[in-house]
Amino acid sequence: MSGAEVHVYVITISTQHPLEPVVSELQSRGLQVKQVLAALGQVIGEGSEDVAEKLRSISAVESVDAQQQYRALDDDA
Amino acid sequence: MYSNQVRQATVAEIPNRYVLVFDRQESGAPGIAAAQRESELPQLLAEQGYSSTEYFPMLGIAVVTSSADQLEDFRQRCAGHKLPASVVPELVYRILPDAPAATDSYADTGQLTWGLQAVGASLSGYTGKGINVAVLDTGFDSAHPDFAGRTVTAKSFVAGEDATDGHGHGTHCIGSACGPREPQQGPGYGVASEANIFAGKVLGADGSGSDSTILAGINWALENKCEVISMSLGADVRTVHPPYVTAGRRALELGSLIVAAAGNNAQRSAGNPGFVGAPANSPYIMAVAALDSKLAVADFSAQALDTDGGEVDIAGPGVAIYSSWPGAKRYNTISGTSMATPHVAGVAALLAESTGLRAQELWDKLLSTSRDIPLPAEDAGAGLVQAPASQEA
């Protein structure tokens, strides 16, 4: 995975912190925010692996995870 | 072992009928003498005008027809003779019709799918009324005639696609969770037949989706106060994906229970038991295994992982499941842990309705009321999910 390649990430924010200031900080560190999921305290955004590393150093950030793919689970799928 | 087959009885008081118990109620105290039970008591009863035909001297118990005044007078008489007497209303007992004996083999009938029979939905007086059930899947055929008049809220989180089901899987899962028990044609196939349906499209017409769509769907379900969230989707990865640890935990904190398919990555007949994949391997998401109509674990149904959250929590009907399908086809019969999951979600809605329990308490209730089946917990968890019994009339 190249450090410059862009991926979609799920960023989970600690409930101890208000969401909006953290979202601003994520953006200031280079994340292109796509969705803010307030009930879950999670943010979906795009950025490089280098950006993801910067996000992991924010104290309010619990985890930064590269997006996974899923499929319907009927046995014929 | 079928631990949940409980016989029940209803009771009602009979007007002006009382049971008189001549005995000392204190534990360990000596009972009244045989001479008193055999001669003094029958005489006292006769003097009070009570029939002695329902006096049982061996027991020191009489059943009498009496007014309240007459009864009080008799109690004072007994006290004068230093005879301890307690009075309770006579009750009538009715044994409820027995539930059919638990069986380990089912078949679709003209009235009900085997799945509805196996989870006991057909015997439940509960329908999920007032409970919001979100099914996060490939969308929904809102024009399906079996759902006319139902409360359905649909939303797509898939870019470029509306909430219409272009695949079929979502409509099938919604049918098992929330479809009718008495459709106009064919067998009943829906567990929570009066629940409010929230159809979140998180998988595209190709049957696939991503964290972006699925987490958005969970967030939407929580915003809409869905008590139950059903996800018949997964990825064959052993590693717990942290976003679903948070999502499952926050759902429980907000009063919602997420159930998810354990996975279809087993091929047991070839010696491969598979493993519970993401997101069902989150510790806060209930993982559902699939059973066939003989209550054997399905060949494809994934086995527990040896990690926190990697357990199989419960099992549901998941082989040859008949349910709704989009378009002219209307119905289809398919298999998967996908099919077992909405059965569990539907029963969760019935239990949420019948008990008022939510979140972790609802989770615990689902497990504690499941039917014990002779399968290892690593394959079927706590057993076959069971609907709550009927309300008493």
Give me B5's structure tokens: 């087959």
Please say whether the beta carbons of B192 and B346 come within 8 A.
Answer: yes
Tell me if A72 is assigned to some domain.
no
Contact B335, B289 (CB under 8 A): no
Nearest CB to A70; choose among B167, B208, B337: B208
Task: Name the pLDDT band for B47 (thresholds 50, 70, 90).
Answer: confident
Residues of B noted as catalytic: 137, 169, 338
pLDDT tens string B291-346: 999 999 999 999 999 888 899 999 999 999 999 999 999 999 999 999 999 999 99
Whether the predicted pLDDT of B26 surpasses 90: no
pLDDT in tens, B89-135: 777 665 444 444 567 899 999 999 999 999 999 889 999 999 999 99
Kindly state the average pLDDT of the residues B238-251. 96
Q: Would you say residue A61 lies in a domain? A: yes
Fold of B9-95: Alpha-Beta Plaits (3.30.70)
Query: Considering the domain B114-380, what is its CATH architecture?
Result: 3-Layer(aba) Sandwich (3.40)
Residue A50 backbone phi and psi in degrees, to 5: -65, -40
For residue A15, tell me if it sits in a domain.
yes
ipTM of the complex as predicted: 0.90
Q: How many domains does chain A fold into?
A: 1
pLDDT for A51 beyond 80 = yes
Output the domain CATH number for residue A60.
Answer: 3.30.70.80
Substitution target from A62, A73, A75, A76 for chain B, most B beta carbons within 10 A: A73
Round the average pLDDT of chain B to a whole number and report it: 90
Tell me the residue range of the domain where A31 lies. 6-65
State pLDDT tens for residues B10-19: 456 778 888 8
Q: Is position A52 within any domain?
A: yes
Do the chains contact at B207 and A69, CB–CB below 8 Å?
no
CATH 3.40.50.200 positions along chain B are 114-380
Helical H segments across B160-210, by residue range: 169-178
Query: Is A22 part of a structural domain of the chain?
Result: yes
The alpha-carbon gap from A62 to the nearest alpha carbon of chain B, in Å, equals 9
A59 in any annotated domain: yes
CA distance B195 to B352: 11
* Sequential DSSP letters for A21-68: HHHHHHHHTT-EEEEEETTTTEEEEEEEHHHHHHHHTSTTEEEEEE--
pLDDT computed for residue B7 by the predictor: 35
Strands A69-72 and B208-210: antiparallel
Angle, CA of B55, B58 and B59, to the nearest 5°: 70
Confirm whether A21 is domain-assigned.
yes
Residues of chain B with CATH 3.30.70.250: 9-95
Cβ atoms B2, B372 nearer than 8 A: yes
Judge contact between B241 and B284, C-beta under 8 A. Answer: no
